[in-house]
Amino acid sequence: MPSRPLTWLSRASRRLAALEQALCSLLIVAFGALLIANVFARYVLNSPLYFANELAVYILIWMAFLAVSIAIHHDQHVRLTMLVGLLPAPAQRACYWLTELLCVAMLAVMLWYAIGWLRSPSVTYDIAITLDWPKWHFYLIVPIFCATSLFHLIARLPDRSRTVFSLPSDEE
């Protein structure tokens, strides 16, 4: 079957996923460097970096959210397909579209509430104890994740509807 050209949304989604991958790789390096520096400071200099544990947690949280967004781009997120696989092809397609649209709706609602949460005074004035930085910088990953995942989902729907989930008569 000849491959069809990607839509501009698909190309933008690929570029966004590449950016997310690069940021995730940078965070992995930063995480490793932070842990090595902390071990060196603790055991060689006898003066540990008091902020290292808190910053490491935030780095891991950012990496996890970015990794899930990348998985959504590649359509590799977790699914339970055992029962759906027993259905006839039209019902499988309907289940696919239902779950994709449900994910789009859930991410849109999460994005709406995440933005409201970030704008609330309880987050605005919350300070990371050992870093003495406002926590809202670290919490930005929640709306970023929702927005990028939403974009990845919306970008792949037209391509998926033409390829994997086409009717058998469309393939001739």
- Reading the chain (172 residues) residue by residue, the pLDDT tens digits are 445 667 888 899 999 999 999 999 999 999 999 999 999 999 999 999 999 999 999 999 999 999 999 999 998 877 767 777 788 888 888 888 888 899 999 999 999 999 999 999 988 889 988 988 999 999 999 999 999 999 999 998 876 665 544 555 544 4
User: pLDDT (tens digit, 9 = 90+) per residue, 124-144?
Assistant: 889 988 988 999 999 999 999
Among candidates 102, 101, 81, which has minimal Cα distance to 92? 81
Helices then strands, counting H and E runs in the chain, come out as 6, 0
> Tell me, what's the pLDDT at 1?
43
Q: pTM for the whole thing?
A: 0.82
pLDDT of residue 3: 57
Q: Which amino acid is at 163?
A: T
Task: Residue 17: name the closest of 75, 58, 60 by CA.
Answer: 75
User: What pLDDT score does 2 carry?
Assistant: 46
